[in-house]
Structure 1
Amino acid sequence: MLASGGVPLTAADLNTGAAVGWLDGDDPDAVALRIRERVPGVNVQLPSELSRLLRSSTAFFSALLAGIGVLAFVIGGLSLANTMAAAVFERIRDFGVKRALGATDLQLGLEVLTESLAVTLVGGLAGIGLALVLGWAIDGTVARAQQLFHFSPRLLGGALTFSILLGAAAATYATARVVSVSPAEAIRRGS
């Protein structure tokens, strides 16, 4: 046999394959094994082997994404705690004056917590909105025939809840730092 350029083809140049289906009720692996027995020299892959390979690949990518998520959690948490602490310490003089005028630790803590929750709620909603827009854009351009990204209400609610809990933790840290400073010291530091 000759290729279009007149060059002879060998068996190594040929790549043949076939996809085989089975009837409802038939065992796919049994069909593959019958083909392997009846047609010597044919490489037959069992559907169960392909399924196992797909599951292991999916598990690997799931673990990779989980690792990235944990890393993002740690970085986000530290960044948020640092930002909240910096915002509170910029106003440490104000907090010192409020404490000198009789504000309790609880009142100051609630003020910081309210501000933190407002910031993290807006940030969480913005992050969810950005994820939805990017997911839909990627689905619309890259994966026209299928949906790559699925944002369930449970996932979106969990992300928002996580954002709020992270903000509360950061506010708790910042509040603990503020109330540990005496009013006189806070006023002196803020000068």
Structure 2
Amino acid sequence: MSAARRGREGRGERLTPARMRGRDVLRVGAAGLRSRPTRVILSALGIAIGIATMVAVIGISSSSREDLLRQLDKLGTNLLTVEPGRTLFGAEAKLPASALDMVRRIAPVTSAAATGTIDATVRRTDKIDSAITGGIAVQAADGELLRTLEGRMRSGVWLNQATGRYPAVVLGSVSAQRLGVTEPGGQVYIGGRWFVVVGILDTLPLAPEIDRSALVGFEAAARYLGFDGHPTKIYERSTDASVEAVRDVLPRTVNPENPEEVDVSRPSDALAAKAAAAGAFTNLLLGLGAVALLVGGVGVANTMVISVLERRREIGLRRSLGATRGQVRVQFLAESLLLSALGGVAGGVLGAAATIAYATSKDWPAVVPPWAFGGAVGATLVIGTLAGLYPAMRAARLSPTEALATT
């Protein structure tokens, strides 16, 4: 005690308690945690699990959406598809045989191609029962299909004017896998005759139906498989600025007599819907993470209550030496906040690490939004305050004589 302070006490003046600086509060709070390391680690673990779950869920969802957005940027959103709808009486409509040529006459259209469903099955050999289709469709394909879909060949070549006239087939990625075909040059059995596999397509995210198809040329389909020449699906690309305008005129262009029997869609909408569905699923997982965080907060509160009960003599000693109720309250609140912050930092690091590991395994760009860490810090501060409020108030209410008398 300083000489000036002793002099003031000697004159009977009332002394005001010294204020604790922020550094002193942190030091006192940290000292309380260091005295119980095992309990502190276990309590912080509950907070860490909740925060790690929330950060990982946000990070993985953001990485997935970023991958989908990159796919959309790469594949483009200017692809439209045209399919037959229903007639006035509910029967399945047909697109005119001239529909593809009509679409290509629309000025903003840069490329267009068509496929036509064929009533035939494809098998690895003629020894397999024709009822076993493997979920593979046989389709006639226009020569411009690969360019319109901006697809790539995994191996072999695409149909051209020569191979499109003869028993040659290109397999989608899924079809090749199901048929056990790994390289071009072999044969598959389609509609009662052998077709030579000239190519295997890479995956087409905007046209998954092509992945499950065996594609032959229009002329070959008409000559060998009885194809009637009516397309069942038209793929069209136009300039980005004119997509909506083209979409509006497609039904009347394809079928001027019955435009209501034509359905037009944009395949990229499916990827956008997938991203939205992933966001909805993220909200559910965030709820689970919040529950885990709440459980961690209960653990912190339990630890702090036990700490108050075990340290009654310490509290009484501090009060008898001049500590105010507010200072005792601040001490225990500081301990609770430090304990929660410890779990929050650990959880944030674990969540980011989990996001990076999972995104890398899926070949996604690893994205952990900065606001996820900000939310983690905010959540830990809220949890720490709520968990420590009751223990701190309970400690502050202890009178020095009652606390010191505790055995």
- Shorter-chain TM range is 0.7 to 0.9
Q: Within the alignment, does 1:136 sit opposite 2:356 as a pair?
A: yes
Q: Within the alignment, does 1:103 sit opposite 2:224 as a pair?
A: no
Equivalent in the alignment of 1:15: 136
Render the CA deviation track for 1:98-121: whole Å, top value 9, x for unaligned: 223332101111222222232222
Render the CA deviation track for 1:139-173: whole Å, top value 9, x for unaligned: 22x212x13x5222222122112212321222222
Equivalent in the alignment of 2:369: 152
The TM-score normalised by the length of structure 2 is 0.38
Instruction: Determine if contact 1:96/1:187 at 8 Å carries over to the other structure.
Output: yes
1:26 is paired with a residue of what secondary structure?
helix
1:33 deviation in Å?
6.4
Select the structure that is richer in strand.
Answer: 2
2:264 and 2:303 mapped to 1: Cα distance?
A: 55
Render the CA deviation track for 1:54-79: whole Å, top value 9, x for unaligned: 36633540331232133123212211
Aligned length: 182
Equivalent in the alignment of 2:277: 57
1:106 and 1:80 mapped to 2: Cα distance?
A: 21
Partner amino acid, structure 1, of 2:372: L
Instruction: Determine if contact 1:22/1:31 at 8 Å carries over to the other structure.
Output: no
Equivalent in the alignment of 2:383: 166
1:81 deviation in Å?
1.3
1:22 is paired with a residue of what secondary structure?
strand
Instruction: Determine if contact 1:32/1:46 at 8 Å carries over to the other structure.
Output: no
Equivalent in the alignment of 2:298: 78
Consecutive unaligned residues of structure 1, counting only runs of 5 or more, are: 38-43
Equivalent in the alignment of 1:187: 404
1:31 and 1:14 mapped to 2: Cα distance?
A: 34
Instruction: Determine if contact 2:316/2:399 at 8 Å carries over to the other structure.
Output: yes
Instruction: Determine if contact 2:301/2:391 at 8 Å carries over to the other structure.
Output: yes
1:186 and 1:45 mapped to 2: Cα distance?
A: 79
Consecutive unaligned residues of structure 2, counting only runs of 5 or more, are: 1-120, 138-208, 212-234, 256-262
Equivalent in the alignment of 1:123: 343
Partner amino acid, structure 1, of 2:238: L
1:105 and 1:126 mapped to 2: Cα distance?
A: 32
Partner amino acid, structure 2, of 1:66: L
1:115 and 1:32 mapped to 2: Cα distance?
A: 68
Q: Within the alignment, does 1:91 sit opposite 2:311 as a pair?
A: yes
Partner amino acid, structure 1, of 2:283: A
- Residue 5 and residue 87 in structure 1: after superposition, are their counterparts in 2 closer, same or farther (change >3 A)? farther
Identity of counterpart residues, as a percentage? 26
Partner amino acid, structure 1, of 2:127: G
Select the structure that is richer in helix.
Answer: 1
Equivalent in the alignment of 1:40: none
Instruction: Determine if contact 2:317/2:404 at 8 Å carries over to the other structure.
Output: yes
Instruction: Determine if contact 1:33/1:46 at 8 Å carries over to the other structure.
Output: no
1:173 and 1:55 mapped to 2: Cα distance?
A: 43
1:11 and 1:30 mapped to 2: Cα distance?
A: 41
